[in-house]
Amino acid sequence: MAAPATDWGWATDFEDVRGEVAICGIGEADHSKASGRTTKEIVGQAVERALADAGLEPTDVDGLMYIPLPEQFDVAAFHEHFGTSHDMWESRAGGGMRWAATAPYEAARALRDGAAHTILNTFGVAWATQRSQMVAGPGESHAHEGFKQNLEIPFGWFPQPVYFATVARRHMHEFGTTQEQLGAVATACRRHANLTPGAVMHDRPLTMEQYLASPPIVAPFRKEDCCLISDGGAAYLMTTTDRARDLRTPLVEVAGVGLGNSVTGTHWAEQPAFTSTPQVFAAPAAFRMAGIAPSDVDVYTCYDPFTIHTIMQIEDSGFCDKGAGGAFVAGDTLHFDSGKLPTNTHGGLLSHAYVLGIAHVVEVVRQLRGEAAAQVPDATFGVYGGYTGPQAATLVLRRG
């Protein structure tokens, strides 16, 4: 059972969109360390592959979703890439993180209204390339925020690895979570990446012994508790379930979506439930829409910038009791072939690619089609848990 809703957040009230939308095409760009590519080149490649997967032409796409971060793939970029000029419905409520989970909800409403018929959601980053040029990265947006500049950064409580190592240590104190349990998350992800062609850490095994022997960088975190910084991106295409039945790809439909919100934003020192995520609010809403229980989920992916996020979201989504997540993930629970809850079966942000969750959705679709590299047998329900700090979202997908 998930922790009860408290005074620190709430679930956004969503209309029921169960069964209305299908994900009919998926594509990933090449994921890599610093590559010299631009974000638009990366996303363009992912979009080409999603179109090829669906058997659609660029002119078939009449809706485009992205997040308004620099250099994302907007309508102008789409037309420049494909040499097209047709009218497109556009939404900035797309991209990765929690939006990779809620984009299908926004798409459902646009499909209902007839605003668009085939909608593309994309996200990409060139942060590995840009980091070497010292111009961008995940800490950048946080460094410009007033409360962080004046109440956190002067004390060295910055950036994300420091915040979440603080959360992890408190979780260890409150619930008895151990270093080995964090390591179980890191090693499961690495094993999945080792099986997944295209994962950035594909050729780099990681044993528990190696994990424990790795020096802490911000104790209790080792490097292996922290996500990659990589260049890459992904895209997925959405249309009505009826139209998707006529396309070449196996049917994967959206069964439920939920969005949870925290009152404290990205200032985790303020969050009363310090060791929880807004999945506490999001996941029950998504499961209710889908008409399933957490125990019905065959494959799970979650936004995993740090190992502790997998443990917290598993708890907060109701896969186990609050506080039992460490014991739950120990051993082979997360493994694709033998685990009770196969999780981040492509390797996650930790070992596959740091493309902020959109590749997690692609992976769930692959699993439900039976096309994944580390395939879970006979997967019917797959879930993506998206996280953005102040918000978390849950997307339930079902094999048609």
Partner 1 sequence: MRPDFPLPDTTWEPTREFWAGAARHEVRIPRCDQCGRSCWYPRERCRFCEGTSFQWVTMSGRGTLFSWVVVTHAFLPQFADLVPFVPALVALDDDPAVRLATRVVDCDVDTLTFEMPLQVTFQPITFDGVDGQVTAPLFAPA
CB of 158 to partner 1, least distance (A): 7
Q: How far apart are CA 229 and CA 301, in angstroms?
A: 19
Q: Does 212 bind partner 1 (CB under 8 A)?
A: no
What does the CA dihedral 342, 343, 346, 350 come to, rounded to 10 degrees? -150
CB 133 to partner 1: min, Å: 15
Q: In the set 52, 135, 263, 293, which binds partner 1 (CB under 8 A)? A: 263
Out of 202, 267, 288, 340, name the contact with partner 1 by CB under 8 A: 267
Told to check if 248 binds partner 1 by CB under 8 A, we report no
Among 176-184, 264-272, 291-299, 345-353, which window interacts with partner 1 (CB under 8 A)?
Answer: 264-272
Give the interface segment with partner 1, choosing from 52-60, 138-146, 198-206, 375-383 (CB under 8 A).
138-146
CA distance 161 to 227: 9
Q: Does 325 bind partner 1 (CB under 8 A)?
A: no
Give 197 or 215: the residue with its C-beta nearer to partner 1: 215
Q: Does residue 273 bind partner 1 (CB under 8 A)?
A: no
Residue 224 CB, shortest distance to partner 1, in Å, is: 13
Are 265 and 145 in contact, with CB atoms under 8 Å apart? no
Q: Are 326 and 180 in contact (CB under 8 A)?
A: no
Q: Which range in 101-109, 148-156, 183-191, 297-305 contacts partner 1 by CB under 8 A? A: 148-156
Measured from the CB atom, the residue of 59 and 132 that comes closer to partner 1 is: 132
Helix (H) or strand (E) holding 64: strand 63-65
DSSP state of 298: S
Q: What is the C-alpha to C-alpha distance for residues 236 and 25, in angstroms, rounded to an integer? A: 5
Minimum CB distance to partner 1 smaller for 94 or for 305: 305
Question: For partner 1, what does the binding mask look like between residues 219 and 238, x meaning CB under 8 A?
Answer: xxx-----------------
- Residue 326 within binding range of partner 1, rule CB under 8 A: no
Question: Min. distance of Cβ 219 from partner 1 in angstroms?
Answer: 4
Q: Per DSSP, what are the bridge partners of residue 384?
A: 301, 395
Residue 147 is a binding residue for partner 1 (CB under 8 A): yes
Question: Which residue has 């998350």 as its token pair?
Answer: 185
Identity of the residue, 151 or 212, whose beta carbon is nearer to partner 1 in the bound complex: 151
Q: Is 150 helix (H, G, I), strand (E, B) or coil?
A: helix
Residue 143 binds to partner 1 (criterion: CB under 8 A): yes
* Cα dihedral 11, 146, 273, 321 sign: positive
Enumerate residues 6+ apart whose C-beta is below 8 A from 330.
Answer: 180, 181, 184
Q: How far is the CB of 124 from partner 1 (least distance, A)?
A: 24
* Least distance CB 275 / partner 1 (angstroms): 9
Residue among 70 and 215 whose Cβ is closer to partner 1: 215
The DSSP secondary-structure symbol of 134 reads T
The residue (of 162 and 324) whose beta carbon lies closer to partner 1 is 162
Task: Determine the Cα–Cα distance for residues 156 and 220; give it in Å rounded to an integer.
Answer: 16
User: 177 near 315, Cβ under 8 Å?
Assistant: no
Task: Give the distance, in angstroms, between the CA of residue 212 and the centroid of all CA atoms in the same chain.
Answer: 26
Q: Does 10 contact partner 1 by CB under 8 A? A: no
Q: Which is nearer to partner 1, 92 or 267 (CB)?
A: 267
CB 78 within 8 A of CB 88: yes
Residue 150 interacts with partner 1 (CB under 8 A)? yes
Q: Are 257 and 396 in contact (CB under 8 A)?
A: yes
Q: Give me 67's structure tokens.
A: 């997040």
167 lies in the binding site for partner 1 (CB under 8 A): yes
β-pair partners for 387 = 392
CA-to-CA separations, 316 to 171, 310, 324, in angstroms, rounded: 13, 10, 10
Write the DSSP symbol of residue 13.
-
Q: Is 295 in the site for partner 1 (CB under 8 A)?
A: no
Please identify, using beta-carbon distances, which residue of 219 and 293 lies nearer to partner 1: 219
Residue ranges in contact with partner 1 by CB under 8 A: 139, 143-144, 146-147, 149-159, 161-162, 165-167, 169-170, 173, 215-221, 263, 267, 269-270, 272, 274
